[in-house]
Amino acid sequence: MSIKKKIHLNGFVQNSPSPHSTGLWKHEKDEGIRHNRLEYWTETAKVLERGKFDAVFIADVLGTYSVYGNSHDVAVRHAVQLPAHDPLLIISAMAQVTEHIGFAPTVSATYAQPYALARQLSTLDHLTEGRLAWNVVTSYLESEAVNLGLSGRIPKNQRYDRADEFLEVVYKLWEHSWEDDAVVHDREADTFALPEKVHAINHHGEFFNVPGIHLTEPSPQRTPVLFQAGASPRGRDFAAKHAEGVFTKGHSLEALKRYSADLRKRTVAQGRNADSIRIFPMVLPIVGSTEEEAYAKYEELKSHVSYEGTAALLSGHTGIDFSKYDPDQYIEDMETDAVQGNLDMYAKDPNKRWTLREAILNHGLGNGTVKFIGTPEQIADHIEEWATEGDADGFNIAQSYSLETFREFVDHVVPELQKRGIYRLEYEGKTLRENLFDTDSPYLPDNHPAKRLSSPVIK
């Protein structure tokens, strides 16, 4: 290898006690029950910025994991991504105590309105001074749909159709409503902004009618950095068209290789460069000063996982009520209208047939993703291998116990990555997009569909 590939890191969180390791809230080192306090979030952001992470990725769901036994009781008892507090409202506080790290909240394009969400995200891009991303999801829980005014979950393809048009609307608002020099602050002329440079977008489509102008002036990045995590063919095409970063989850390097190759091909087919998307597999690190210590820690962590809570989590992730299944039954390949990737991890694993019991035990730590277990050097070896052979651009670091997992990673693994020359010593740019792509422009590149959209307003 001549030039070493530089990797990027995100910290994976959710405004919930132990969102990605079910039951770990009760571990003595876990601080997740303080997720309702600002200090918990400001500390999270400071630790990750100390580790030069690109962003805090904040997952979110708007419903309960009540597929299992058709009841929310297990989710309530075992804190299965519940309580589920709002992801946007913690960002300003984190931004105030940091300078460089970005924030990637999840907001569903299935339930939000583009006109209002464009305003919220632009406001945050202003307040963070260009450090905002948006993880675009289409949502998978039936409990989200029925509590948000629908009779049931919209079929997946239709969710993506809606999301496609949703993005068209926000692109028009972010990129084409206010011209760069619209705001003049001309006191003499009693003019804050020039009306002839602020355009109504006149959007009339299948799902949305938005005739008006964007409510905020252009923010530092205009369009926040766009993340996405679809795994189905339609989800991947959506990512290939719109995303600048994708999150993926799995436990085999082979699966990652296939995913990366496929996604880059789809990206080129959309008229974009193969490297215009950063690929972030999710990893749960378990660090020890020796390999034995790390594996002993792994066993200890597993003993805190809630089996029943994880069964409810996996049922919600896959849309299958596993309370009706025999734990020794093998998980079979099928199509799901929930998260295809979560089912594929077990149903399409080339290396192993998974029984339900094994899948649940695995899913309880790091939502089933790969665990890198060992000394800092061994973990760095895995990272290098997955980056070079799996074509990952970075990693989405999940936690067992929070926030200590992040502290251990930042204090022990990050210095090893830096020593190897595969990780930044300092942030390169000012905005999130500049740091993520090592460019000197905070804006979307010209070959992105938001830029290619023929503007209905700017002549």
Residue closer to ligand FMN (CB basis): 138 or 306: 138
Residue 144: CB atoms within 10 A of its CB come to 18
Residue closer to ligand FMN (CB basis): 136 or 380: 136
Please choose, out of 333-341, 356-364, 372-380, 381-389, the segment that lies near ligand FMN by the rule CB under 6 A. Answer: 333-341
Residue closer to ligand FMN (CB basis): 277 or 294: 277
Which residue sits closest to ligand FMN, CB atoms considered? 235
Q: Does 137 bind ligand FMN (CB under 6 A)?
A: yes
On the 0-12 / 13-18 / 19+ scale of CB atoms within 10 A, 105 is: buried
Segment 107-126, which members bind ligand FMN (CB under 6 A)? 108
Among residues 138, 216, 219, 276, which is the contact residue for ligand FMN, using CB under 6 A? Answer: 138
Among residues 74, 231, 345, 380, which is the contact residue for ligand FMN, using CB under 6 A? Answer: 231
Please choose, out of 165-173, 187-195, 201-209, 336-344, the segment that lies near ligand FMN by the rule CB under 6 A. Answer: 336-344
Strand-pair partners of 370: 283
Query: What character string, x for contact with ligand FMN (CB under 6 A) and - otherwise, covers 266-285?
Result: ----------------x---
CB of residue 396 vs ligand FMN: minimum separation in angstroms?
6
E strand segments, 4-98: 8-14, 55-59
Q: What is the H or E stretch that residue 146 is in?
A: helix 142-147
Using N-to-C axis directions, what is the helix angle for 114-127 and 156-176, rounded to 10°? 50
Residues 6+ apart with CB under 8 A from 55: 10, 11, 101, 102, 103, 104, 131, 133, 225, 432, 436
Query: What character string, x for contact with ligand FMN (CB under 6 A) and - otherwise, covers 66-85?
Result: --------------------
Residues 219, 195: Cα–Cα separation, whole Å: 18
Segment 411-450, which members bind ligand FMN (CB under 6 A)? none
Among residues 41, 171, 174, 247, which is the contact residue for ligand FMN, using CB under 6 A? Answer: 247
- The amino acid that residue 148 corresponds to is L
Among residues 105, 130, 230, 376, which is the contact residue for ligand FMN, using CB under 6 A? Answer: 230
Provide the 3-class DSSP secondary structure of residue 234. helix
Segment 200-229, which members bind ligand FMN (CB under 6 A)? 229
Output the DSSP codes for 333-382: P---SS-HHHHHHHHS-TT-PPBHHHHHHHHTBGGG-EEEEE-HHHHHHH
Residue closer to ligand FMN (CB basis): 149 or 195: 149
Segment 348-407, which members bind ligand FMN (CB under 6 A)? none
Q: What is the H or E stretch that residue 278 is in?
A: strand 278-287
CB of residue 21 vs ligand FMN: minimum separation in angstroms?
14
Q: Does 235 bind ligand FMN (CB under 6 A)?
A: yes
CB of residue 263 vs ligand FMN: minimum separation in angstroms?
12
CB of residue 243 vs ligand FMN: minimum separation in angstroms?
11
Q: Does 242 bind ligand FMN (CB under 6 A)?
A: no
Would the CA dihedral through 168, 206, 239, 371 be positive or negative? positive
Residues 6+ apart with CB under 8 A from 70: 321
Residue 437: CB atoms within 10 A of its CB come to 20
On the 0-12 / 13-18 / 19+ scale of CB atoms within 10 A, 149 is: exposed
User: Which residues here bind ligand FMN, judged by CB under 6 A?
Assistant: 59-61, 106, 108, 137-140, 229-232, 235, 247-249, 282, 339-341
